[in-house]
Amino acid sequence: MSHLPTIQFAAPQFPASGVLVVLAGKDGALPAGLPDGVRGAAERAGSLGKFKGKGLSTVETIAPAESGLDRIVVVGTAGEEPFGEEDWLKLGGTIQAKLAGASVATIWTEGAAAAPQAREAATIGLGILLRAYKFDRYKSKKAKDGEEDTADQTLTVTIAVAEPDAARAAFEPLDALGEGVRLARDLVNEPANILTTTDYAARIEALSSTGLEIEILDENRMRELKMFALLGVSLGSPTPPRLCIMRWNGGAEGEAPVAFVGKGVVFDTGGVSIKPAAGMDEMKGDMGGSAAVVGLMRALAGRQAKVNAIGVVGLVENAVDGMAQRPGDIVTAMSGTTIEVLNTDAEGRLVLADALWYTQERFKPRFMVNLATLTGAIIVALGNQHAGLFSNNDELANRLLAAGLATGEKVWRMPLGKDYDKMIEGKFADIKNVGNGRSAGSITAAQFLQRFVNDVPWAHLDVAGTAMGSPSNEYNQSWASGFGVRLLNKLVEEHYEAR
Ligand code: BES
Ligand code: MN
Ligand code: ZN
């Protein structure tokens, strides 16, 4: 695997080697306290490159020989609005992109127009780590010429800040958060022949070393619990289903937990209602919702969050086989609701029906948030820029919207209502697993889920467009984004943790 950069924080002491990164303000204003030669070189590069200090714009130059430095990279921080949390993350990513091939770098923040505080400096560190992520496990030859090569690079980045102890303390939880994001990305990037349901469950089980309590339900146990909606999806697959439960008990004893539930379809062929061949490979990512839940739980444990949290993921493969369920089959969910399976490709909601019902019944959570790559229709509606948010609770929905804006993992609220609910009334059973043709496809899927939440405050995030395949940005260059981990970590941190 690629090496990740080492991030450290130190009191400002001007470096005598390596790459120097300086933050510039409006009109390219450079911080005070740069040695004359360095300042002169940076200014010259700035005026030649028409550098105006605009946020995240960069200019670089060879350092003067007497400085001992290799290169000077100037990064702008100016703009209409002051830098927010996501901007600092982007800044870190932008810097990391400029450090290809370097082994030592110093980020000089002292005297900058927008000098980062401890938490902001720490966020630069997280941005560096997220940008450096690469899934190259199966490349026998690592980076190609001209690619950002982090394969055998060992890079140490020192962020020079006025209060290094405070920055270090602020970085610790963000480092754990970064681990959670990387875990989620890894799980989504892994192909389905490697990340089978049982392999996935084993990886979750291994997280017990982080302090999470793990429990794994096998097929027999799920049959005893009458989870026939979930089990039906799994019938066509040679690898058996698993329901994995992760518990983090960092809050007050006896306090009701917050709960996160994820769709973990390790591969979605569509089943008998088979998908077209083009692009079907992307369905290895159909467990993106579950990966976010696993990554989040990893992050909460890693940073010793003061909260009681439950993560539940339903792991199945939706395969084609003589044993697979057929269109028209009727299954009874754990809740007792009967479901006509009119399209075997609408399988995610069947998995979540039992996972959600089980979660609320067993854990009586304060709320449930589920994540699922549930519908292609949400990509039609929102593209890759927002996840769809559906909720029966305005307070929870508003908190998620705010967390989305802060982290850049944006969500957009979509409607629910009786008229949409009518669209899933069944002909031969209580409900059917599809709506009417293509209209309101993401909403009817959400209505289906709502049938299984039993009035618990609940939000459903349809992450089909955001968990994978979104355009690269400053802090993500990977197919799998890890979407949801930072969003939900923010939700927990802001509203549900004891301080
Ligand atoms: N996993 C898919 C949704 C999906 C599509 C995720 C594209 C990521 C990218 C889901 O199981 C599915 O097949 N949904 C169907 C529902 C339909 C049959 C009602 C869809 O969206 O077409
Ligand atoms: Mn499907
Ligand atoms: Zn699916």
Residues 72-129: pLDDT tens digits? Answer: 999 999 998 989 999 999 999 999 999 989 999 999 987 777 789 999 999 999 999 9
> Measured from the CA of 435, which atom of ligand 1 is nearest?
19
pLDDT (mean) for 192-214: 98
pTM: 0.97
- What region does 334 belong to: left with phi over 0, alpha with psi -120 to 50, or beta? alpha
Mean pLDDT of 460-488: 98
Please give the distance, rounded to the nearest whole angstrom, from the Cα atom of residue 315 to the centre of ligand 2: 14
pLDDT value at residue 2: 65
Q: How far is CA 50 from CA 28, 31, 60, in A?
A: 9, 18, 12
pLDDT (0 to 100) of residue 47: 93
**In a mutational test of the pocket of ligand 1, which residue from 290, 317, 340, 345 has the highest number of ligand atoms less than 8 Å from its CB?**
345
Integer distance in angstroms from the first to the last C-alpha of the chain? 37
Q: 286 C-alpha to center of ligand 2: Å?
A: 8
State yes or no: pLDDT of 23 exceeds 90: yes
Does residue 324 line the site of ligand 1, with CB under 6 A?
no
Q: How confident is the model at residue 34 (pLDDT cuts 50, 70, 90)?
A: very high
CB neighbours (10 Å) of residue 385?
11
Cα 109 to Cα 51, 130, 187, 396: the distances in Å are 18, 20, 35, 37
Mean pLDDT, rounded, for 210-225: 98
- Whether the per-residue pLDDT at 289 is higher than 80: the answer is yes
Instruction: Give the whole-angstrom CA distance, residue 117 versus residue 124.
Output: 11
Tell whether the model's pLDDT for residue 432 goes beyond 90.
yes
Please pick, among 90, 131, 303, 349, the residue that the annotation labels catalytic. Answer: 349
Question: How many angstroms is it from 489 CA to the middle of ligand 2?
Answer: 28
Q: Is the CB of 175 under 6 A from ligand 1?
A: no
Mutate to test the pocket of ligand 1, among 234, 286, 431 (most ligand atoms within 8 A of CB): 286
Distances (CA, A) of 436 to 306, 315, 413, 422, 448: 44, 28, 22, 10, 13
pLDDT at 3: 86
Percent of the chain with pLDDT over 70: 97
| Ligand 1 within 6 A of CB of 268 | yes
pLDDT at 118: 96
Distance CA 279, CA 293 (A): 25
CB of residue 318 inside a 6 A radius of ligand 1? no
Q: Of all protein residues, whose CA lies closest to atom 14 belonging to ligand 1?
A: 375
pLDDT of amino acid 359:
99
Ligand 1 close to Cβ of residue 286 (< 6 A): yes
**348 close to ligand 1 (CB < 6 Angstrom):** yes
Measured from the CA of 468, which atom of ligand 1 is nearest? 8
Return the ligand 1 atom nearest residue 270 CA: 13
Q: From the CB of 434, is ligand 1 less than 6 Å away?
A: yes
Question: For residue 376, how far is its CA from the centre of ligand 3 (angstroms)?
Answer: 9
Measured in Å, residue 15 CA sits from the centre of ligand 3 at 52
| 372 Cβ below 6 A of ligand 1 | no
Q: What integer pLDDT is reported at residue 32 of this predicted model?
A: 84
Has residue 143 got a pLDDT over 60?
A: yes
Mean model confidence pLDDT for the chain: 96
Tell me the per-residue pLDDT of 313-341, one tens digit each, with 9 for 90 and over.
999 999 999 999 999 999 999 999 999 99
Q: Which ligand is nearest to the CA of 465?
A: 1
Q: pLDDT value at position 114? A: 76
Indicate if ligand 1 lies below 6 Å from the C-beta of 444: no
163: pLDDT strictly greater than 60: yes
Quote the pLDDT of residue 148.
61
pLDDT at 227 over 70: yes
CA of 383 to the centre of ligand 2 (A): 18
**pLDDT value, residue 145:** 59
Q: What is the pLDDT of residues 300-313, one digit of tens each?
A: 999 999 999 999 99
Q: Is 349 a catalytic residue?
A: yes
Identify the pLDDT of residue 1.
52
Helix (H, G, I), strand (E, B) or coil at 459: strand
Residue nearest to atom 13 of ligand 1 (CA): 345
Catalytic (active site) residue 275: yes
Q: Phi and psi of 445, rounded to 5°?
A: -65, -40
What DSSP state is assigned to residue 425? B
pLDDT at 445: 99
Residue 151's pLDDT band, with cuts at 50, 70 and 90, is: low
Tell me the two tokens of residue 183.
């875990």
The helix (run of H) or strand (run of E) holding residue 128 is helix 118-132
Q: For residue 41, what are the CA distances in angstroms to 12, 44, 91, 115?
A: 20, 5, 22, 21
Q: Which of 26, 39, 119, 275 is catalytic?
A: 275
Q: How confident is the model at residue 147 (pLDDT cuts 50, 70, 90)?
A: low
Question: pLDDT band at residue 146, thresholds of 50, 70 and 90?
Answer: low
Q: Are 492 and 258 in contact (CB under 8 A)?
A: yes
Do the beta carbons of residue 167 and residue 122 sit within 8 Å? Answer: yes
| pLDDT for position 75 | 96
CA of 331 to the centre of ligand 3 (A): 18
